[in-house]
Every structure is written in C-alpha cells, then in structure tokens.
Amino acid sequence: MTATVSNASPLLPFLPLTRPTIDDETIAGVAEVLRSGWITSGPQVKAFEAKLSEYFGGRPVRAFNSGTCTMEIALRIAGIGPGAEVITTPLSWVATSNVILEVGATPVFVDIDPVTRNLDLRLVEAAITPATRAIIPVDLAGLPVDRDRLNAIAKKHNLRVVEDAAQSFGSTWKGRRIGSFGDFVSFSFHPNKNITTIEGGCLVLNDEREAGLAEQYRLQGVIRSGFDGMEVEVRGGKFNLTDVAARVGIGQLVHLDKFTAKRRELARAYFELLDTPAVRALGLGLPVPDFTQSNWHMFQVVLPAWLTIKRADVMAKLKDGGIGTGVHYPAIHLFALYRQLGWTEGDCPHAEHTGRNILALPLFPAMTRADITRVVGALVFILQAHSKP
C-alpha cells in the first residue's frame, strides 16, 4: 500500500460502518404478520425461540426487546443485588455495566488484555472479594473470551457468569457455538449486529425454572393461569419482543452461516492489505487474526499514538471520502457516572489507551473486496500524511 491512493472519492456511494441485509422473503413474511392482526408477542416469538433453542443444542431460550435487559434479568435470576460485586470489562458498550447498577450491585472493572481487547482473565482472580457474586465478560467484536479459563475461575470461586455475547452470535469456542454451553448467555439483535430483529435480544438459560422466571421478569412479573387467573410474584418490566421483530429474526437466522463466512472473507481482505511491513511501520494496531472462532462482528484497528491529528479528525476525513467509521468503545470507567463511584484515570491503562484510539472500519456482508481496498487506501493515505516523521 502506497500513499498514491487519494482520500477523496466523490463519485463513489457512501460506505456506512454497517448495514443489515434483509431479504425479500423476510420482508414478505413481516407483511404477513402485519396482516394477521397479531403483531405483539405471539406465535412468531415462540417459533423464533424454538429455532434459537435448536441452534443452541436444545437449551432454553427466551427472546426480549433488547440485549441489555437480558443481562439485567440474568442478574436478577441469579439473585444478585445490593451488596454484591460484579466483575466486568471497561471496554464495552456502557450497558454492560449499567445493568449491574440497575440491580443495585457494584461494578468492578478489570483491565483488558491489549492483544485480544477482552477482559484479562489473568487479572480477574486478584479482583475477587468476599462480595463478588458474578462475572460479565464481553466478546469484543465477536472474538470469544477464553471460556475454559473463565468457567474454571467461576467454578473455583462459586460465581455466576453472565456472558455478554451481544457481539458474538455465530462465534465458537473450540468448535462449540457460543451459547450452547456455559451459564447465562446474552445476545443482541440490534441492527448493527450479525443478525437483527430490528431491536431485540435473547437470553440462553440453564433450565426451565430459570426460563419461567425470565418470562415473569419479561412482562411485569405476571403469571397467567386458565382464562382469568393472574398472579405477580416478582417486579418485572416491559421487555417483550414483538411478533414483527421475531419474524425478522427467523428470516435472518437462516442466513447466519452465509453472513459469518462473508464477514470472515472480508476480514481476511483487511489483513491482506493492512498486515504489511509498510502499514505496520505506521504503528497501526490490528485485531487478533482469528478466522475460525470469531464471527467478525467488527473490524477494529487501534490508531498510532503519534498521529499529528486526533481520532475525530481521522473519522472526519474518512467521512469526507465517503466512508463511515465508529468508536467501540470509550473506556466505561472514565464516564462521569463511574468517576462518581471512585474510578479514575490510570485504573485500567490498557482499556484507556485502546478506548482513546480504537476505530471500527466498515464491515457487513453486502461489502465487496473493492470496498475493503477503498477503505484501506483512504486510511493509509491519512496515516501517512499525518504521522510524525
């Protein structure tokens, strides 16, 4: 890659960070649901849950209206509340730690491994106290956390695990699908995820007792019996998925393997163009090149610290060239809400460095290799023009 590639692309269409692929059969199926008159939670939700359960090897699954409430509900089912501590990563969407606060528990941030950008499991045991009740790991960009080490730590210390697998639907660990084993596993079906229900998520549970509790928490704690029987035993919320959304999910699920294969193909193309001596010399940090386990939800680079312009300027220049980017994520513990809880700069140095410099590049199944070449050319052009000599 040389500096001869221009950053300007006035004749090319705008390339967004991500874009869902929804086929005509799914669109027609949504129209059928709308015509049916049953558009909130009903037969489509049950059908979607059945297909998800089959995908996860028969484990009970319940669908929800987000991949955030799923983590909160898992914590509530586990009995985690005031006085409890929950260990998690500072490099995630803030929802990961907000749900800990929502149940009245205390988040304990442990720094990331700078290579995988996931929770550094080597540091977790030192953070465990008598108040620790759970761990919430995150599979950043779809790269799985080491499940063997994670579950061994949890078993040793009698901790629950709520896997924030929002980004790893379709990822595997040693040949096993993420979600087909482990404790609670939470997925998101937001439009930027590998499959979508427009908005939504699901929670994989351990048994039917937990699944029943999840249903109660999903809709105001209500238990129905017969034609007119109703009881409320727990304080639930309004977290149910609609049939319209579920029908989108059913249509998406059949394409998952194809979507994952295409994402891996595109990620390989990024590596072919970026993992070169010339680009490495610019100091660009690349993700772990895992093409068997990761679903490549995102392709994230870490910008070199010696750039003469800020990350926002890089993003603006790429946008001027018709290329969308994203930041996933700033370090959570440095947000004002968490600073008020006592977290300060320097507590998680690897997450702080990555959070300041990470940049997500476009990656979605409808992209082509030419799109990847365009993105890399524009990015390298900017890096070369704004690196310190």
- Known catalytic residues? 193
CA distance 53 to 346: 42
CA distance 192 to 174: 26
- Beta-carbon count within 10 A of 230 CB: 9
Cα angle for residues 47, 145, 274 (degrees, 5° grid)? 105
Q: Which amino acid is at 140?
A: L
User: In angstroms, what is the C-alpha Rg of the chain?
Assistant: 22
Q: To 10 degrees, the CA torsion angle through 112, 114, 117, 120?
A: -30
**Look-up: residue for tokens 């049953």?**
38
CA distance 240 to 250: 16
CA distance 80 to 86: 9
Cα angle for residues 66, 71, 72 (degrees, 5° grid)? 95
Q: Which amino acid is at 158?
A: N
Residue 360 in contact with residue 327, Cβ under 8 Å?
Answer: yes
CA distance 180 to 71: 17
CA distance 23 to 252: 8
**Look-up: residue for tokens 């699944």?**
211
For residue 329, cis peptide bond before it (omega within 30 degrees of 0): yes
Tell me the sheet residues that pair with 229: 225
